[in-house]
Amino acid sequence: MAGVALALLGWSQIARAAGDLMIRNARLLDGTGAAARDGVSIAIREGRITAIGPDLPEAVGGPVLDAGGRTVLPGLIDAHVHFAAAPGGAFRGDSPATRRELNRRHLRAYLASGITTVLEPGSPEATVREIEQMIAEGAPAPRYLTTGPMITVPGGYPGTDLHGPVKSPEDVRQKLALIQSLNGVGVKIAVESLGGLAPYPPDILEAILSGARERGLPVYAHATAPQDQATALGYGVRAIMHSPMGGHWMGQFLPPPDLSEEYVQRMAKSGAYQQTTFSILDAWPNHYDTARLADPSVRLVVPELELETARNPEATRYFFSQLIGAQAGWTPEFLRPYIARLLFRKTNLDEGLEYSQRNVAKLYRAGVPIVAATDAPSIWPLAMYNFHGPQLAREVELLGAAGLPPDAALAAVTRVPASMLSLDAEIGTVEVGKRADLLIVDGDPQKDLRALRNVRWTVHDGVAHTPAEWING
Ligand SMILES: [Zn+2]
């Protein structure tokens, strides 16, 4: 296996192991838009790509990985994940120790699924510190980026005090300082008018937007309803963190009208990125096909504890009972499963997903940069199927099914999120000078996006392992 050396990364104070490696006999799809090339060698020194060219007859020494003609792609980026709760965590009543151990496994699951960078937007301070400490202690992990706690107000989204809500412009300044002390790469706000949540008072909103601007922190907006996305766009945000969803995930029947041409053009001009998060609806109980639990890409990387919960019908009942309880606490317990069955029928969830896919495709055609992201595990701690790792390949497939060409769907998990994160000089494509974050798969993802499930090796900072090695090694 690859030799190991310590290297200090430009955007992080965390030292990590970086490898020397020669990959031979690769079919390189470098992610720049260039056509795939066969018979390619990639030389890596201390975690960085130093040369790419036709295979030489013999390797120049050092560790060698023969890709066997398989396709090499840039390592994937999931630009929307959460570690504050594990899938099914509320049903099991995970202790903090259990959650920590599961997160250790989730970090490995990302690597085993070909994901070499994750962004956790809006995370409680304690969660960020826990993850950063694990990585500092040498836990195998993808590049971990965060925006620290979401800036929210009392009674605002997400409806809990988890993020420490701000009550004054002075509180906002302290929160921004905290985000910077956590190496935050941006600021997460929530623009959410569904569910009767409190909006930002004008002085607080102004303090957030001007404070973020002064500190050079891009603003990432949670917004799901089209009218809220239009409002967020007016704030000059870097990205809208969910596809337009209508109210299907809240149990509403009537989708809003499709995005107007005026809005689509306005978004294209703004330069803002659109995240997909189709997985929220795709992995919703009553929509998720539990046969997918047997998919090898799921079985290998998802912790057994989470698979057990996912197979347990009691967990689904609990999910709906809690969800209805949260939205309409006056509903008698015994009625909740019936209400849930009525509101969250599969056809309603299908419609919601199609609405999101159709409108994201519309944004894509207008030139809006699209970023595929899962929001795993989403609606935490209740949700139980939006698994860390394998769900990202599914997200890309759903983007392809929405009508994006395969190259655009692949760019949405590589080059485009790298540019959203201002890391395009470091990651996102396979080019000399960039970090050696690579994915080697069976099959041709340009012909069939499902090839992303067939990970043979993930190379992170020049260190190559098979999925089983990333999970168990
Ligand atoms: Zn989220």
Q: Tokens 């795939």 belong to which residue?
A: 36
pLDDT of 393-418, one tens digit each? 999 999 999 999 999 999 999 999 99
Dist. CA 306 → ligand 1 center (Å): 20
Which parts of the chain sit beneath pLDDT 70?
A: 1-18, 57-61, 247-254
Question: Distance from the CA of 280 to the center of ligand 1, in angstroms?
Answer: 10
CB atoms within 10 A of CB 337: 14
- Calculate how far, in angstroms, residue 240's C-alpha sits from the geometric centre of ligand 1: 11
Q: Report the CATH number of the 3-74+429-472 domain.
A: 2.30.40.10
The CA 128 to ligand 1 mean position distance, Å, reads 14
Q: Span 76-420: which CATH code? A: 3.20.20.140
Give me ligand 1 centre to Cα 447, in Å: 31
Predicted pLDDT at 19: 83
Distance of CA 3 from the midpoint of ligand 1 (Å): 37
Please indicate, yes or no, whether the overall pTM of this predicted structure exceeds 0.85: yes
Per-residue model confidence as pLDDT tens digits over 139-168: 999 999 999 999 999 999 887 788 889 999
Residue 181 exposure: Cα atoms within 13 Å on the Cβ side? 10
Alpha carbons within 13 A on the beta-carbon side of 207: 20
Ligand 1 mean position to 16 CA, how many Å?
A: 27
Alpha-carbon torsion 396, 248, 380, 273, what sign?
positive
The total of other beta-carbon atoms located within 10 Å of residue 69's CB is 10
CA of 119 to the centre of ligand 1 (A): 10
81 CA from centroid of ligand 1 (Å): 6
Mean pLDDT of the chain: 91
The domain spans of the chain are 3-74+429-472, 76-420
CA 374 / ligand 1 centre spacing (Å): 9
Rounded distance from Cα 378 to ligand 1 centre (Å): 6
Q: Quick check: 30 and 74 in contact, CB under 8 A?
A: yes
- DSSP code of residue 370: E
Question: What is the pLDDT at residue 194?
Answer: 78
| DSSP codes, 436-455 | --EEEESS-TTT-GGGGG-E
Rounded to a whole number, what is the distance in angstroms from the first to the last CA of the chain? 12
Q: Which of 143, 219, 136 is nearest to 176 (CA)?
A: 219
CA of 149 to the centre of ligand 1 (A): 12
CA of 379 to the centre of ligand 1 (A): 8
- Span from the CA of 156 to the centroid of ligand 1 (angstroms): 15
How far apart are the CA of 466 and the centre of ligand 1, in A? 29
